[in-house]
Chains A and B, each alone.
Chain A
Amino acid sequence: MSINLETLRKSPTYSVTAAVSDIVKDLRELATLDRASEAKQTEFGNLVTKCVVGAITSIVIAFILMIVVGEMGDGFQLFGNILTILLLCVGVGCTIVAIYAGIRESKYSRFNFPNHRYALTEKILEMLERDMDKEAKVSVHLVLSPANQDSKRIKTVKHPLKSGFKIDFFQDDWLKMEGQFLDKTRFVLTTSELNQTAYGWKTSRSGKSKYKTKSKAKRLDISLNLTYPQRRYGAIKVLNNEAVNAVKIPKLTNVKRMRVTDKGINLVVKMSPSMPWNQEALYQTITMMFLSVYQVLNLARMLSKAK
């Protein structure tokens, strides 16, 4: 297993060069870790909620009792005071437990990864493995940290419409996969997610100021780069101008760039945020990209056969 929990805690990135079967095992362990973390996070999150409610309720009741007890006779005062102290103790106890549970929840949140990232990686690897040597090594670099992390900020600009507001732009290149097929074609698949967050102080009509922040997805670029043996696919130069017509991708995705040479193909597809960036949509797009490129290459192979 290549997963080191300590490394993963510091930097949630899975980076490895290994056989597909080994990577799939690792990704399944990641999934197990993620599921366990999600469950623990929920468990401690619920505990925090219960403790906060308990603490507030007992402290409020204790204060009410303090007032009520002051107006009561001596007989009730002792009992009332004991009850107030008990309730305050319960309130303090609940607060301590809530803080402890909050710390534990935050600890587990570090291992709560976006599910679609590792699940998609596994599915793509299993798809690509069909045309690879079982022992062939694949390099995978999978970033599992949130897309709007500070380290992923690429620029900050003033908001064009709202004065005092700024917009942060984030670029998250969360997947890079490299390997070689049985036909000696090398592939590099990358995904790059662009997000933005607008933030600033908003003053209402009554004069109250409130800090506002709003994040939204901008674009997801998927790039597929193939470098193939010239001897096998050299006649692709004949198909150069028409290759783009062989590309079939889902609706709401666009071809951003396609470059064909006698040594390689680069296909970049842009997914708009109106299409959900979930595992299924991403898998479909990536599979269609591979099929599109090989629809061209398989014909080029027929034209490249030496007489």
Chain B
Amino acid sequence: MQIQLSWIDPVTSERREPLLETPVALGREFASMPQEIDGNRVARIVLASERVAEYHALIDVANGELIVVDQNSSTGTLINSVRLPSSTLIDGDRLQIGPYEIQLNPSSSQTTSSSEIGASGECDRMVGFLFKRRCGRTTNIGCPYCSYPDNNPYYYDYSYYSGYGNYNRGYWGSNYYDNRDRYYYDPETGNVDFTEADNMSLEGEMDADFEMDMGAS
């Protein structure tokens, strides 16, 4: 997710407004902050002050939400003037790290994630209510998913049908789902058959095993 942070440098009084890709590490020592987290390159912001820890806080995305996690700093991280070990962030929230007051700029976090933009420049996220399909948007304008922090704009309607879209063990259709690769549908004839590979595996099965599986005496 792309975010924009803004703050006024307390030393130079310069306004800084970098546009960053999450995860974003904040700290005093560039080398003390991680280069990569879960294979993602970390944007490292150096805040030059003795009241800022070498690696002070991390802004990242968890379950579709933007969160900030304090890295056990001695001075702590204040989120909207409240000291918290971690917190979700929304547009306009203020982070106090040492003398730095950093603001998350409005709507900057709603920009479609570059990781969801495919080679064609279109969003690769699976969207839809009854059935899923590729989003294909080139912008987040009019996207119901982008305006929901947890990327699930249809949560309340799905809650009517618990386990919707789930075919795992214990849910309806699990037997078919587990064996979904064994089915072959011929659109020309309209027949549904096993694939050749499955036929071969069945041929390899001994008659006795087959009868045992079927519960025959």
Contact = CB atoms under 8 A, between A and B. Distances in A.
A230 B187 contact: yes
Interface in A277-307: 284, 287-288, 290-292, 294-299, 301-307
Given A291-B164, A304-B185, A182 B190 contact: no
A303 B185 contact: yes
A104 interface: no
A306 B183 contact: no
Contacts of A43: none
B62 interface: no
Contacts of A230: 187, 190
B185 A235 contact: yes
Contact of A181 (B130, B160, B183): B130
* B interface, over-half SS: loop
A218 B160 CA distance: 25
Interface stretch (A137-145, A188-196, A237-245): A237-245
A262 B187 CA distance: 11
Given A231-B187, A295-B165, A131 B128 contact: yes
Nearest to A301: B131
Nearest to A129: B129
B195 A307 contact: yes
Contact of B173 (A131, A242, A288): A242
Nearest to A293: B130
A234 interface: yes
B128 A303 contact: no
A287 B157 contact: yes
Contacts of B210: none
A5 interface: no
Nearest to B127: A130
Nearest to B197: A307
Interface residues of A, number: 37
Nearest to A234: B185
Of the listed residues B154, B161, B167, B185, the one surrounded by the most CB atoms of chain A closer than 10 A to its CB is B185
B190 A288 contact: no
Contact of B161 (A127, A181, A291, A302): A291
Interface in B165-196: 165, 167, 172-173, 176-177, 180, 183-187, 190, 192, 195
B130 A234 contact: no
Given A182-B133, A238-B176, A303-B180, A130 B128 contact: yes
A135 interface: no
A29 interface: no
A131 B130 contact: yes
A291 B130 contact: yes
A294 B160 contact: no
Given A231-B187, A284-B160, A306-B185, A294 B177 contact: no
B208 to A, nearest CB: 28
A297 B130 CA distance: 10
B131 A291 contact: no
Contacts of A305: 185
Contacts of A288: 160-161
B131 A295 contact: no
A246 interface: yes
B172 A302 contact: no
Given A238-B192, A302-B177, A246 B160 contact: no
A237 B192 contact: yes
Ranked 7 nearest A-B pairs via Cβ = A130-B129, A291-B161, A294-B130, A235-B185, A303-B183, A304-B185, A231-B187
14 contacts: A127-B157, A130-B154, A230-B187, A234-B185, A237-B190, A287-B160, A294-B131, A295-B165, A297-B131, A298-B165, A299-B180, A301-B131, A305-B185, A306-B186
Given A234-B187, A291-B161, A301-B131, 11 more contacts: A130-B129, A131-B131, A230-B190, A235-B192, A290-B130, A291-B164, A292-B161, A295-B165, A306-B186, A306-B187, A307-B195
